[in-house]
Chain A
Amino acid sequence: MQRWMQEVVVHPGDIAEAVASPSAKKALGRAAIEDVILPSRSLEPADRVGIYQGMYLMRMEEALESDYPGLKHLLGGHAWSALVRGYVAAHPSVTYTLNRLGDHFSDFVAKWPGAKRPELCHDLARLELAMAEVFDAPQTEPLSDAEIAAVPPESWERARLAPIEAFRLLSFRYPVNAYLQSVRDEDHNHPDLKRKDTYIAIYRRDYSVWRHDLSQAAFDLLTDLVAGKPLGKAVAAALARGGKRAPTTDQLFRWFREWAAGGVFKSVRLR
């Protein structure tokens, strides 16, 4: 009975299609729905099960919308509903929490035939997934001013820094962070969504999620640092990589101070 009811409830079609689906019929065996569910004074058995079926997709939409408001805005309500219907059919919830429901959402939308601009949708979904992950990530204390001050100046060159758990570094093919901000601000002057490489650091500080736009040079430096490269080598690589847009040493150290003060790093290792 439970297998049958679940098959009906999660079916993406209308209730008549759900009841008649091969998976539902297989689960019910030779019985008919009237053999399982009683009618009420005003509803037939299928209508009664249909109440649960109708609420299922609504609940999935609400759960995903809370983490992906930007993607829903980009797609529009109709396409969004179709996307969610397809997604939960392919990736139904298998855990006790809805927080994990969207774990495959960005990969799914990248291949979803209904997306007119799949790369753009993919970028936006990756951004929103990373924000959700940072929101819930384990709490790790950032380096304190005293810990930073305790590092002898001559040792910084070999210092290896580790980021806090609630930190993500991403690059995109479109300016999706600016777009998401305009959605959150309910600003109807959305940025032009033309192809443009953009970079961002997302981290949690004082239990709020921050998004920090980065230049490519800053992104590359931060990528090296969180990968465990010693600060001196990471800075040297940044200077060597830059060409005519190379950051100055002052810029590099200003970035580093901003990241450290922002609570991006949890530890510094000198060996």
Chain B
Amino acid sequence: MGNRFQFPDLGVGVGLRTVHFGHILEKWPKVDWFEVISENFMDTEGRPLWVLDRVAERYPVVLHGVSMSIGSTDPLDRAYLKKLKALGKRVRAHWISDHLCWTGVAGRNVHDLLPMPYTEEALRHTAARVRQVSEILERPLVLENPSSYVEFKDSTMTEWDFLTRLAEESDCGLLLDVNNVYVSSFNHSFDPKEYVDGIPADRVVQYHLAGHTNKGTHIVDTHSDHAIQEVWDLYGRSCRRTGNVATLYEWDENIPEFEVLHAEALKAGAFREQAVLAAAR
């Protein structure tokens, strides 16, 4: 099955990171696609943008942002959205994603993916902003479930119910980060299987996989390691519902050699094929 937006299954990709620029430009590795952090390329005309242009000539590219602040009570930053749209056009991005979060208020940016209370008021507020952003970008926005470390007393619904209703009310796509689901399930004591089963399968246009750091009392989403088996299992479970969907392996701390990162992506490729075959039997 495909997603309702007809976004293509790009295969398995990796994040484009500065430490790998040299390797990529020299070897042009057999990677299905690259995801880039939008903000790293929006205010530079130096080497990063030059490299991105070369990459975009050869590979499919998806933009993934960290500063849209879709859940903030501040007004939307239209100058930011204008630059984001231009970058998406420049690299022919297949889609543009960001996170269900807020990053600052009163004009400030703390550069973190801060969590929201899951209330009716927050839902109405965020859905209206997603519709506005999609209009400005002239394409459906794709939103990722965040990992989080706090829960709000005011919340009246689960995160997956909030995401489902948000996606339906604002007609946005979903980037399902199964590691984030696992991290938050540990931190907030919910069943991660219930989460992935509760997400509308036809709105999932991309997966994220990553490693994390277990601190004992809580798990931090560090993107610093291999994914654990429980995360792979969640990924397989979700793939059985969604079919093959573009998947990306994220590694942002203690970034290894490109081949190690690529091997994780290839593992995801094999994993999703098995999961989809199993679902078809």
List residues of A whose CB falls within 8 A of some B CB: 1-3, 5-6, 9-10, 34-38, 40-43, 45, 47-49, 51-52, 55-56, 59-60, 63, 92-100, 135-139, 166, 204, 207-208
Contact = CB atoms under 8 A, between A and B. Distances in A.
A97 B43 contact: yes
B150 A6 contact: no
Which secondary structure dominates chain B's binding surface? Answer: loop
Contacts of A9: 110, 112, 114
B218 interface: yes
Nearest to B66: A96
Contacts of A40: 151, 187-189, 217-218
A97 B112 contact: no
Contacts of B80: 96
B149 A51 contact: yes
A51 B47 CA distance: 34
A77 B105 CA distance: 30
A63 B112 CA distance: 13
A56 B111 CA distance: 8
B102 A59 contact: no
Contact of A96 (B45, B67, B114, B216): B67
Q: Which of A35, A63, A92 has the most CB of B within 10 A?
A: A92
Interface in B142-156: 149-154
A60 to B, nearest CB: 8
Contacts of B153: 34-38
Given A1-B117, A9-B114, A93 B45 contact: no
A82 to B, nearest CB: 20
B9 interface: no
B110 A56 contact: yes
Interface string B116-144: 01000000000000000000000000000
Interface of B: 39, 42-47, 50, 67, 72-73, 77, 80, 102, 104-112, 114, 117, 149-154, 187-189, 216-218, 220
B67 A97 contact: yes
Given A6-B104, A40-B218, A166-B46, A93 B114 contact: no
B45 A59 contact: no
Contact of B112 (A47, A56, A139): A56
A135 B44 contact: yes
A47 B109 CA distance: 22
17 contacts: A6-B106, A10-B110, A36-B152, A37-B150, A40-B151, A40-B218, A52-B114, A93-B108, A95-B109, A96-B77, A97-B39, A97-B42, A99-B44, A136-B43, A139-B46, A139-B50, A208-B47
A99 B72 contact: no
Contacts of A208: 47
Contacts of B187: 40
A36 B151 CA distance: 9
Contacts of B44: 99, 135-136
Contacts of B111: 59-60, 63, 93, 98
Given A36-B152, A52-B149, A56-B110, 11 more contacts: A6-B114, A34-B153, A36-B154, A37-B153, A40-B188, A40-B218, A42-B218, A60-B111, A93-B110, A97-B39, A207-B50
B114 A5 contact: yes
Nearest to B38: A96
Contact of B45 (A5, A49, A137): A137
A98 to B, nearest CB: 6
A166 B106 CA distance: 33
A208 B51 CA distance: 12
A88 to B, nearest CB: 9
Contacts of A48: 149-150, 218
Given A43-B218, A135-B46, A137-B45, A94 B107 contact: yes
A98 B112 CA distance: 11
